[in-house]
Structure 1
Amino acid sequence: MVLDTTPAGGTLAGLGRFCFRRRRLVLLVWVVGVLAVAFAGFGYGAAPDNDFSGGDSPSAKAQQLMVKHFPEEQGDTLTLAIRADRGIDDPAVRRKIEKVVARLAGSPVTGPVTSPYQDRSLVTRDRRIARTSIPLSAKEVEKSEVKPLVDAVKEASDARVTLALGGYMAEKAETPPQGPAESVGILAAAVILFIAFGSLVAMGLPMVTALLAIVGGLALMKLVGHLVPAPNFALTFGAMIGLGVGIDYALFIVTRYKDGLADGADPESAAAEAIATAGHAVLFAGTTVVIALMGLFVMGQRLMTGLAVATSLTVLVTMIAALTLLPAFLGFTGHRINALRLPRRSSRRDGSAAARSPKRLTLAERWARVVQRRPLIAALLAGGALLILAVPTLSMRLSQPDASVQPRDRSSCISYEILAEGFGPGYGAPLVFAAEIDSEDTDLGPVAAAVAGTDGIAHATPPRVSSDGKAATFVAFPTTGYQDEATADLVHRLRDDVLPGTPGGERVLVGGPNAGTIDVADEVGSRLPLMIVVVVAMSMVLLIALVRSVTIALQAAVMNLLSIGAAYGVLVAVVQWGWLGTALGFPAAMPVTTWTPMMMFPILFGLSMDYQVFLISRVREEYARTGDTREAVARGLARTAKVITAAAAIMIAVFTTSLLGPDVAVKQGGLGMAVAVLIDATIVRMVFVPAVMELCGKANWWMPGRRKPGSSASVPLKVEEGAGV
């Protein structure tokens, strides 16, 4: 099929022509704008907010009560863990411990420190393991102020005594920066683009466009954080998503531009046509991802809303850059888009008659015809494989990473292991019980006794009354750890059975970090199905409007759900079951991080819809020309296989590089999305789509109110040219 080289019309074509002609002005506006936003965002942007508490959960209410009536206990604390095989009373060991305690007490960021030699409750019976708490004097302490303390304690360890500092701030201070992960992703994307395009210039345009857009997008994220707070991993996640979609969007447009030049169009007309066609698909793609991300609003969690807004900003900026900055760059390159080429054998265009002849079928077209000969078997095999991969999803557990799942050489992890050995694994998972009381004479002793006698509780502290006499609290320590499923079951049993069945217990709230994590996980589990329904419904409406087919929209929704389910299953098998977990950088088997599945779903559904559009729109173009679904599917797959493969490879490379970073939660998200894109680009696009479309035949193009397939009224506007990649 010979592409029409007449000048493209419409708003997007006009935008492409304007940016091409006014390329110096467009480039100047982008550079100045990004520099200004970067200066404001990175200099005066909002600090991240990692407080996932809040709302109406019991743990949130308990926290509010503690803040109100026990404000003196709300600061962060560090925990010094000590293990001495010969006992802490050995003279040399004692000198070492007292020196470290004095060093911690003398820090300007710490409060009074009680030596384990002054309080026998801080030492185990065999005197081998001890602990003490170090309060931080300021409400806001920077991790750079805590890092010297962590290092000093760790360096004090020797063959006779092991010392380690734990606590949230110690863990945060010891976590290294993301490091080279993004750089490796950029390098991998550059290599893939160079192989796909065979030209350094063609490779460079998507890279520069995406990187400039990401800088602006990340800076905007920090500015918007003043209005809608986002957690600290939002920047890492935004950079990862922005890099992937930014390069992909530019890839589609540059490929379409090269096609236009090869068909004889002048550079300006080729750029206008690329923006009017591939740019239309990019506009849909970016809008789909943003709409899918807005589905996170349904979760009703403040920080997830902030994460959705922040990530959407990066996607929007990269999309706008592809539609405006990229055609300006094309104006500078013109016919030199293929300069600095990689030596390779010349080949005929896929769209030529020779390429479509039986003797010169492309590999993708030959594969499509193999699938079409046995479509039912292919569909069953593909669907069965996805369902098998999705099976582990049924056992998914959600939690937040704690010290127990950090790398074994981290001080926070060593501290956890020492305390678990000496005081039980539940020492790091305390449950805080709090209640408002009528007077100081109100006795919560029976409630504390009932809690202490519950199976799964190691011991409970005596109740304490607040200084204003209006609240009381006590702490109980489970026999199981933070990440254990038994701990979550214990919290539910205390709330559902023990407290309601004890006089005065009905007004007692169960809180603390552990209970808070359990409440968030329960809330996510209950709201996730609603978010999935909302995201699928909104995306289907958008896809129906674009491709004018209810059948294809339904196919896309079902296939995307299956591929995401399979990705969830692989994530559970690796992270939670521990299959290849160590090889992939996960120090220990752990539950899936609470926010990972709800963040993965909208992003992956949006990206999957993108690939569906790039493929189906080309199939729709071939069907409009021939009226033969089988030929349309085979040729559409052949015309898009190379660029979709390159786009998917870029996404996989970018997401996989997150495994090089230190944050286990971000690693989980990157692994899950890389697996989902791999499944989508192979099993779904190469097997499931051609098999199902072959089975559906002309029913693929069904739309209520449309005349029968093949008639002129059944052919939509030339939206499908957006897949000209």
Structure 2
Amino acid sequence: MRTGTPRTDGALAKLGRFCFRRRRLVLVTWIVGVMAVAFVGFTYGAAADNDYSGGNSDSAKAQALIEKHFPEQQGDTLTLAIKAEKGIDDPAVRQRIERVIADLDASPITGPVTSPYEDEKLVTQDRRIARTTVPLTDKDAVKTEVKPLVDTVKESSGDGVTLGLGGEKAEKAETPPQGPAESVGVLTAAVILFIAFGSLVAMGLPIVTALLALLGGIALMRLVGHVVPAPDFAVIFAAMIGLGVGIDYALFIVTRYKDALEGGDEPESATVKAITTAGRAVLFAGTTVVIALLGLVVMGDGMMTGLAVATSVAVLVTVVAAVTLLPAFLGFTGHRINSLRLPRRLSRRHRADGVPSRGRRPLAERWAGVVQRWPLAAAILAGGFMLVLAVPVLSLRLSMPDASVQPHDRSSYTSYQIISEGFGPGYGAPLIFATEVDPSGADLRPVVAAVGETEGVASVTPPRVSKDGQAATFMAFPTTGYQDEATADLVHTLRDDVLPTASGGEEVYVGGPNAATVDYADGVSSRLLPMIAIVIVLSLVVLIALVRSVTIALQAAVMNVLSIAAAYGVIVAVVQWGWFGPALGFPTEMPVTTFIPVTMFPLLFGLSMDYEVFLVSRIREEYERTGDTRLAVTRGLARTAKVITAAAAIMIAIFTTSLLGPDVSLKQGGLGMAVAVLIDATIVRMILVPAVMELCGKANWWMPGRRAKTTWASQAGVGEEARV
């Protein structure tokens, strides 16, 4: 069966030809455009928005009441924690503590600091541990302004006196920058590309294309932030994703270009072939990633929407660069694509039918043959292995990181540890109750008493009425810490059982950072399944449009869900159970950060579809040429194994570099995505795909309303010799 040849008059062919011929114009346009966008974006870009407490939750209502009626309680604060082995009343110790408090009080960004020697409630009974609050007068104080305060406190520790400065601003101030993680990822990608191509020129093109696109994409997402604000971690997140897909997409196109040159094409026609085949697959793959990411909008959460839009912008720019900037680069390199080669063994050349000239079939093709001889056993073993990896996800717990999960050399962790020892672990997880009252005031004593008698509550403060007499608030301190499951259970108990039965408690809202974290986790959990369903359905539509097979699209969806579930299980085992956690950079056992699973699913689903597109496209082409499903699978796998393996290795390298950084949430995401890509490129592509396609046989190509004489290749415009 003879398939068609790549179209030379289609939109993609015209685009590739234009970029090749007008390469200087295209290159200059890209450089000037990126420089202009970068200048505007990094100069006038929108500020990050990390607010996850909005909506109609109890904590949001409590916060709204506090902001409206207690303006004096607004603003960030730091907590100074003090532990003295000899007691804080020792003359030398007291002199040191008072000097630190004076230094903090004298800072231009702090308000008056109350000395623990002036308030007995700030000191434990044994007088060994004390605390005080350091108010920040500038709510927009940046980390460079807070860092000197942290340094002052840390430098004052020693000789039996330990001091720590806690609070969100302090945590951010002492968190080091991401460091060389991205650089390590780029260097690793360069090594992988050189191994795959054997040429420094061919290695450099994907990296240069991806880096230029990434710079423009991040700058553009900063500008888009004025319309859809994004959280501060969106830049690092988009950098990982944009760099990974940018290099991968360029890798696929460069590989196809090299194949065309080896087949006898001139550089221009080889570029057109690369764009009309691999470039077309890149457009589909990038579209799938963007659609999957925009599935986060379904969550109805502003922070997730901002992250989805920002990352989608970065991915779109890399796609545009792959089909415009890269053809221009190919125009400059021409036949010199293989220049600057280092000594290496000559790789075996393949004939048109995919068989090596020396008669020995590629390893991937021989492996596929082995799997196809025992397809049912292979499918059961591979699927069972992934289900075993997914088992830990049944105990998944969600929360947001706090000082207790930070590296133990941080001042914020020291503050948490001292406060927990002296005043209980719940001091860092206060619950703030707020309610409206009538002008005559409301008697909250029954509510306060009911809350104080609840199991799991250590202490309750007296209620305070606002100056306008329209609202009241009080606080309760749990017996357990911020990350403890019992603390989240306490929030639900208070809301569901205690407040509704207490006199006047029906309109009392439970708020505070801890309750906001619980509400956010509950909201994410309730919307996760609808988001997953929408992402799967939309991605299936795109994949069906490309491969013209409902069966293959459904296979891809099921396999992708399995690989993602396995990645979730690994995250829970490492992060939550602590398996190999310290070795991978996680200081202690902790719940999984709330937004990590929900952001991982659409992204990984989209990335997995990328590899599905490139592999199944080649299998479909071989099937149209031979009419033999088994032969099509083995040859399709052989033709794409090298490039997909290299692409996956690049993704894994970039994602795992997040483990070198300081952010525990990004480490979780990077670990999970690296595991998912590894599973997808090995177990799924090398075992499940050939096994399941062998079991399905002719049913692989089922498509409602398909006409018997219509070939996929003629619809897609892929030629007999087209190889990704």
Relative to the length of structure 2, the TM-score reads: 0.98
Q: Distance between the aligned counterparts of 2:296 and 2:342, measured in 1?
A: 44
* Alignment partner of 1:116 is 2:112: no
**Any unmatched runs of 5+ in structure 1?**
none
Q: Which amino acid aligns with 1:435?
A: T
Distance change in 2, residues 1:544/1:112 (3 Å): same
Partner of 1:718: 716
Question: How many residues are aligned here?
Answer: 723
Partner of 1:694: 694
Q: CA deviation at 1:684?
A: 0.2
Alignment of 1:320-719 (within 5 A): 320-353=320-353, 355=355, 359-707=359-707, 711-712=709-710, 717-718=715-716
Q: Distance between the aligned counterparts of 1:494 and 1:626, measured in 2?
A: 67
Partner of 1:158: 158
Distance change in 2, residues 1:427/1:186 (3 Å): same
Q: CA deviation at 1:222?
A: 0.8
Q: Which amino acid aligns with 1:172?
A: K
Equivalent position SS for 2:667: helix
Q: Distance between the aligned counterparts of 2:712 and 2:191, measured in 1?
A: 42
Distance change in 2, residues 1:723/1:319 (3 Å): farther
Residues 217 and 314 in structure 1, CA contact (< 8 A), matched pair in contact too: yes
Equivalent position SS for 1:117: helix
Residues 619 and 635 in structure 2, CA contact (< 8 A), matched pair in contact too: yes
Partner of 1:251: 251
- Worse-matched range after superposition: 713-722 or 248-257: 713-722
Q: CA deviation at 1:717?
A: 1.6
Q: Which amino acid aligns with 2:391?
A: V
Alignment of 1:267-346 (within 5 A): 267-346=267-346
Q: CA deviation at 1:203?
A: 0.4
Q: Distance between the aligned counterparts of 2:6 and 2:605, measured in 1?
A: 35
Q: Which amino acid aligns with 1:717?
A: Q
Q: CA deviation at 1:359?
A: 3.9
Distance change in 2, residues 1:538/1:723 (3 Å): farther
Residues 617 and 723 in structure 1, CA contact (< 8 A), matched pair in contact too: no
Equivalent position SS for 2:500: coil
* Deviations 1:627-656, CA, capped at 9 Å, x for gaps: 000000000000000000000000000000
Q: CA deviation at 1:715?
A: 5.8
Q: Which amino acid aligns with 1:445?
A: R
* Deviations 1:444-482, CA, capped at 9 Å, x for gaps: 111111101100000000000000000000000000000
**Any unmatched runs of 5+ in structure 2?**
none
Partner of 2:53: 53
Distance change in 2, residues 1:473/1:440 (3 Å): farther
- Worse-matched range after superposition: 651-660 or 358-367: 358-367
Alignment of 1:175-214 (within 5 A): 175-214=175-214
Residues 5 and 718 in structure 2, CA contact (< 8 A), matched pair in contact too: no
Q: CA deviation at 1:677?
A: 0.1
Residues 463 and 474 in structure 2, CA contact (< 8 A), matched pair in contact too: yes
Residues 389 and 567 in structure 1, CA contact (< 8 A), matched pair in contact too: yes
Q: CA deviation at 1:143?
A: 1.3
Q: Which amino acid aligns with 2:716?
A: K
Q: Which amino acid aligns with 2:467?
A: S
* Deviations 1:423-464, CA, capped at 9 Å, x for gaps: 000010000000000124311111111101100000000000
Q: Distance between the aligned counterparts of 1:476 and 1:350, measured in 2?
A: 73
Q: CA deviation at 1:6?
A: 7.7
Partner of 2:236: 236
Q: Which amino acid aligns with 1:544?
A: I
Equivalent position SS for 1:114: coil
Q: Considering only aligned residues, what root-mean-square deviation do their CA atoms show, in Å? A: 1.5
Equivalent position SS for 1:506: coil
Residues 252 and 278 in structure 2, CA contact (< 8 A), matched pair in contact too: yes
Q: Which amino acid aligns with 2:344?
A: R
Partner of 2:98: 98
* Deviations 1:305-344, CA, capped at 9 Å, x for gaps: 0100000000000000000000000000000000001222
Distance change in 2, residues 1:6/1:83 (3 Å): closer
* Deviations 1:102-144, CA, capped at 9 Å, x for gaps: 1111111000111000000000000010000010012211111
* Alignment partner of 1:31 is 2:10: no
* Deviations 1:681-708, CA, capped at 9 Å, x for gaps: 0000000000000000000000111245
Q: Distance between the aligned counterparts of 2:718 and 2:456, measured in 1?
A: 61
Equivalent position SS for 2:185: helix
Moved over 6 A (4+): 1-7
Q: Distance between the aligned counterparts of 1:649 and 1:180, measured in 2?
A: 19
Residues 613 and 723 in structure 1, CA contact (< 8 A), matched pair in contact too: no
Partner of 2:135: 135
Residues 280 and 719 in structure 1, CA contact (< 8 A), matched pair in contact too: no
Q: Which amino acid aligns with 1:434?
A: A
Q: Distance between the aligned counterparts of 1:49 and 1:6, measured in 2?
A: 47
Q: Distance between the aligned counterparts of 1:531 and 1:673, measured in 2?
A: 18
Q: Distance between the aligned counterparts of 1:329 and 1:514, measured in 2?
A: 52
Equivalent position SS for 1:75: coil
Residues 617 and 720 in structure 1, CA contact (< 8 A), matched pair in contact too: no
Residues 3 and 263 in structure 1, CA contact (< 8 A), matched pair in contact too: no
Q: Distance between the aligned counterparts of 1:358 and 1:29, measured in 2?
A: 47
Residues 458 and 477 in structure 1, CA contact (< 8 A), matched pair in contact too: yes
Percentage of identical aligned residues? 74
* Deviations 1:334-375, CA, capped at 9 Å, x for gaps: 000000012222233344457258941100000000000000
Equivalent position SS for 1:651: helix
Q: Distance between the aligned counterparts of 2:39 and 2:718, measured in 1?
A: 40
Q: Distance between the aligned counterparts of 1:439 and 1:503, measured in 2?
A: 18
Alignment of 1:71-90 (within 5 A): 71-90=71-90
Q: Distance between the aligned counterparts of 1:310 and 1:499, measured in 2?
A: 41
Q: Distance between the aligned counterparts of 1:598 and 1:634, measured in 2?
A: 35
Distance change in 2, residues 1:714/1:113 (3 Å): closer
Q: Distance between the aligned counterparts of 2:143 and 2:221, measured in 1?
A: 22
- Worse-matched range after superposition: 627-636 or 433-442: 433-442
Equivalent position SS for 2:580: coil
Q: Distance between the aligned counterparts of 2:152 and 2:207, measured in 1?
A: 43
Q: Distance between the aligned counterparts of 1:656 and 1:188, measured in 2?
A: 11
Q: Distance between the aligned counterparts of 2:377 and 2:710, measured in 1?
A: 34
